[in-house]
């Protein structure tokens, strides 16, 4: 295909994806199916950087794939697979480990955050090197565009550095990718603490919108979102981070410009905004839950989609790895 390539991965997590994952990443995965030769994977190798129960991991991997399909990924228009089904990820990961400086890896802020949360001496070497596995994930597919949220920008920068380093030393081998970050939704904030990003691991329970929560729970969380002591509905991330976050979510889910929302709520209080956004959210998550459950109820179809995806992915990955090994003198 002559289309540019897109590649991204998302970790299987217990429960469900959250609204930050959807708006910051998954929504862009769906859009890029139309313009790119797109590869998306559930990154179970990344998941084991922290302890996992095997049966739960297997279930969560299917759950992640089911949610991606429910969100709009179409196996006819993209390649959806599970990372561990394509052994080339671990193989190229090792090569990239040997190309990365220890100090360079030590500068990754995601590792600092995640290991701090784990407790410094419980963090694994795998957690330390996971950005480098991510480099391999991207380079294997010769990706041009990597749709991610802002928190992943540094890892795409590392990918660019390593691609250029390898190409410089061994000759042109890898496409140098660029992050595909949609500024407006690059960082969705916690609904209770709009100074921190919405995140599975760091969010407050009421500030985290899980896509598979009961719709009435979702509505409740939206209605109890933290705003400020003012009443004016205005997009201002400095002075009004809570209200601005709600406007971003509202605008993205409905395709309404933020300026139009400001106008619509002129002279109305925060209650009106939250009530309407709660309804928008419920209208979004209700069919999402149903579709996810339909995929989970038919694991035969789901597994067959993932098997076909792995086969397509592997054809590309194997070619890149063979070229890499050849260049290295293997």
Please pick, among 112, 183, 187, 197, the residue that the annotation labels catalytic. 197
For the segment 238-257, give every residue that binds ligand ADP (CB under 6 A).
Answer: none
Q: What's the chain's Rg over C-alpha atoms?
A: 20
24: contact with ligand ADP by CB under 6 A: yes
- Does residue 206 have an active-site annotation? no
The residue among 95 and 185 lying less far from ligand ADP, judged by its C-beta, is 185
Q: Which of 104, 150, 151, 193 binds Na ion (CB under 5 A)?
A: 151
- Does residue 216 have an active-site annotation? no
Residues 6 or more apart in contact with residue 108 via CB below 8 angstroms: 131, 154, 155, 158
The CA distance from 114 to 82, in Å, is 23
First-to-last alpha carbon distance for the chain, in angstroms, is: 29
Q: What is the closest distance, in whole angstroms, from the C-beta atom of residue 330 to ligand ADP in the complex?
A: 32
Q: Is 154 annotated as a binding residue?
A: no
The closest alpha carbon to 278, from 71, 66, 19, belongs to 19
Q: What is the closest distance, in whole angstroms, from the C-beta atom of residue 149 to Na ion in the complex?
A: 7
Which residue's beta carbon is nearest to the bound ligand ADP?
24
Binding-site partner at residue 36 among Na ion, ligand ADP, none, CB < 5 to 8 Å by type: none
113: contact with Na ion by CB under 5 A: no
109: contact with ligand ADP by CB under 6 A: no
The alpha carbon torsion through 281, 287, 291, 296 (nearest 10 deg) reads 60
Q: How many residues bind Na ion (CB under 5 A)?
A: 1
Residues 6 or more apart in contact with residue 127 via CB below 8 angstroms: 49, 50, 111, 114, 115, 118
Candidate segments 12-20, 130-138, 149-157, 257-265, binder of Na ion by CB under 5 A: 149-157
Candidate segments 77-85, 120-128, 146-154, 253-261, binder of Na ion by CB under 5 A: 146-154
Residue 322: CB atoms within 10 Å:
12
* Helix axes 270-297 and 241-254, enclosed angle (nearest 10): 50
Burial 16-50 (b: 16+ CB within 10 A, else e): bbbbbbbbbbbbbbbbbbeebbbbbbbbbbbbbbb
For the segment 172-231, give every residue that binds ligand ADP (CB under 6 A).
Answer: 186-188, 197-201
For the annotated catalytic residues, the residue numbers are: 114, 197, 200
Q: Which residue positions form the known binding site for L-tryptophan?
A: 137
Q: Which residues bind ligand ADP (CB under 6 A)?
A: 10-11, 20-21, 24-25, 148-149, 151-152, 186-188, 197-201
């Amino acid at each position: 295909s002559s289309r540019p390539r897109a590649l991204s991965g998302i970790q299987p997590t217990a429960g469900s994806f959250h609204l930050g994952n959807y708006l910051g990443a998954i929504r862009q995965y769906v859009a890029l199916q139309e313009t790119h030769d797109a590869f998306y994977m559930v990154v179970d190798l990344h998941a084991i950087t922290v302890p996992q129960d095997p049966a739960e991991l297997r279930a969560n991997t299917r759950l992640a794939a089911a949610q991606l399909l429910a969100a709009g990924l179409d196996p006819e228009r993209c390649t959806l697979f599970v990372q561990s089904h394509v052994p080339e990820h671990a193989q190229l990961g090792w090569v990239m480990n040997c190309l990365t400086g220890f100090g360079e890896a030590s500068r990754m802020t995601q590792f600092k955050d995640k290991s701090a949360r784990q407790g410094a001496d419980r963090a694994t070497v795998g957690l330390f090197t996971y950005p480098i596995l991510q480099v391999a994930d991207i380079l294997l597919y010769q990706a041009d565009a990597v749709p991610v949220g802002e928190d992943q920008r540094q890892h795409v920068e590392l990918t660019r550095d390593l691609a250029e380093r390898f190409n410089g030393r061994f000759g042109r081998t890898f496409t140098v990718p660029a992050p595909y970050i949609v500024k407006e939704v690059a960082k969705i904030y916690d609904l209770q603490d709009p100074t921190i990003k919405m995140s599975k691991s760091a969010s407050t329970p009421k500030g985290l919108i899980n896509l598979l929560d009961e719709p009435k729970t979702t509505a409740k969380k939206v209605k109890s979102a933290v705003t400020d002591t003012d009443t004016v509905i205005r997009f201002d991330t400095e002075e009004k981070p809570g209200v601005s976050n709600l406007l971003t979510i509202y605008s993205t889910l409905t395709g309404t410009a933020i300026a139009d929302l400001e106008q619509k709520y002129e002279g109305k209080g925060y209650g009106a905004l939250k009530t309407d956004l709660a309804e928008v959210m419920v209208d979004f998550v209700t069919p999402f839950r149903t579709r996810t459950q339909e995929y989970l109820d038919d694991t035969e179809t789901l597994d067959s989609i993932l098997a076909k995806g792995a086969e397509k992915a592997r054809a590309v990955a194997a070619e890149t790895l063979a070229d890499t090994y050849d260049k290295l003198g293997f």
